Amino acid sequence: MKKRNLWRLLAIVLMVVAFWQTACAMEEDTAARAKDPLGSSVNIPVSERKGEASVVYFTRDLSPAGLEKIYRKVKQNIKGKIAVKLHTGEKNGPNIIPSAWVKDLFAKEIPNAVIVETNTYYKGDRYTTEQHRETLKVNGWTFAPVDILDAEGAKMWPVAGGKHFTEMSVGDHADRYDSLLVLTHFKGHTMGGFGGSNKNIGIGMADGRIGKAMIHTRPGQGQWSITSDEFMERMTESSKAVIDHFGKNIAYINVLRNMSVSCDCEGVAAAPVVTPDIGILAGDDILAVDQASVDMVYDLNEKSKDLRERIESRHGLRQLSYMKELGMGNDKYILVDLDK
């Protein structure tokens, strides 16, 4: 009888310890949020966002006509020699922006523009310039010139105000262009949580050997050794180098369609799409456009649970809070619905 009571007492003690540990963890989490009110794992409610608001345009029209309509709202500073940064995808990737849509946009709005890309950091169908050009043909990117920015090397662009970098290595052909249209397929991402405009230029303009290594790799610790908040910050500082270079001559379009939790770099191996299509968002503020995209995904509630879990489990929301810290834009926005 005494032995049984002893076991009961021990069980009670263990339960008390467990409750105490949980309470301590909650207290630590609360303290961490107090130190970092912007957070990296919670999408800050619109009512709690501070500062000015930027205009973001929206259409539900997922078609060539919808893409043209929204481009016309943001094209005022896209001039001179125009680069269009796309994620052109691995061979036969099922979720990329349809090349036919972009072909139509080029023909009607930007006939002399050039698609720009960089080679990948991982070995695959876009690792070398030769492999990359073959993949471009397979995926239908043959209607306009495609400039592999790092085909002949890289150069450094300054990073102002960063805590990880003072400069970032980008494909050296990037200097050839006067303005940049960031045309992004918004989706999930294995490391970034989500891939929006920030990922498209933060990873996509960095060259495949030096710049991408600076973002992903801690020397001696493996190719993909930088993750979570630090990865988001490094990627965002790389974006800032691009934004500062082009100044006002840059615009962003996010296409919220075929939003797998996987990046387009996974090609045919991407996870099935279960998140409903939403539409197209655009503006001249990278943070506002990516924030509006995330908000619309979150507004789907249960229908977007897989994509939300992917974003939060990778600390993807740190992309947004760090863009705000670096003064790259506003997380408040005025949504202009072009369909009404």
Q: Which domains does the chain have, with CATH numbers?
A: 55-337 (3.40.50)
Q: Average pLDDT in the 111-136 region? A: 97
* Banded model confidence at residue 56, pLDDT cuts 50, 70, 90: very high
The helix, strand and coil proportions of the chain, stated in percent and rounded to the nearest 5, come to 45, 20, 40
Q: Average pLDDT in the 207-230 region? A: 96
* Banded model confidence at residue 17, pLDDT cuts 50, 70, 90: very low
What's the CA gap between 99 and 87, in Å, rounded?
A: 11
Q: Which amino acid is at 273?
A: V
Asked if the model's pLDDT at residue 293 lies above 50, the reply is yes
Confidence (pLDDT) at 2? 53
Percent of the chain with pLDDT strictly greater than 90: 84
Confidence (pLDDT) at 30? 39
pTM here is 0.88
What's the CA gap between 46 and 333, in Å, rounded?
A: 9
Asked if the model's pLDDT at residue 189 lies above 80, the reply is yes
DSSP secondary structure of 204-232: TSB-TTTHHHHHH--TTS-TT---HHHHH
Q: Which residues, in sequence order, are CB contacts of 46 under 8 Å at separation 6+?
A: 295, 332
Confidence (pLDDT) at 212? 98
Q: Average pLDDT in the 118-138 region? A: 96
Asked if the model's pLDDT at residue 33 lies above 60, the reply is no
Asked if the model's pLDDT at residue 36 lies above 80, the reply is no
Average pLDDT, the chain: 90
Instruction: Compute how many other C-beta atoms are within 10 angstroms of the C-beta atom of residue 271.
Output: 14
Confidence (pLDDT) at 46? 85
User: Which segments of 174-278 are extended strands (E)?
Assistant: 179-185, 187-189, 193-195, 250-256
Asked if the model's pLDDT at residue 170 lies above 70, the reply is yes
* Banded model confidence at residue 6, pLDDT cuts 50, 70, 90: low
Confidence (pLDDT) at 149? 98
189 three-class SS: strand
Residue in this structure with the two tokens 């506002």, named with its chain if needed = 288
Q: Average pLDDT in the 193-221 region? A: 97
Asked if the model's pLDDT at residue 3 lies above 60, the reply is no
Q: Average pLDDT in the 148-165 region? A: 98
Q: Which residues, in sequence order, are CB contacts of 315 under 8 Å at separation 6+?
A: 40, 41, 193, 228, 229, 232
What's the CA gap between 116 and 176, in Å, rounded?
A: 11
Asked if the model's pLDDT at residue 176 lies above 70, the reply is yes
Q: Which of 10-14, 167-171, 222-226 has the lowest mean pLDDT?
A: 10-14
Q: Which of 61-65, 266-270, 300-304 has the lowest mean pLDDT?
A: 266-270
What's the CA gap between 99 and 101, in Å, rounded?
A: 5
* Banded model confidence at residue 222, pLDDT cuts 50, 70, 90: very high
Confidence (pLDDT) at 96? 97
First to last CA, the chain: 76
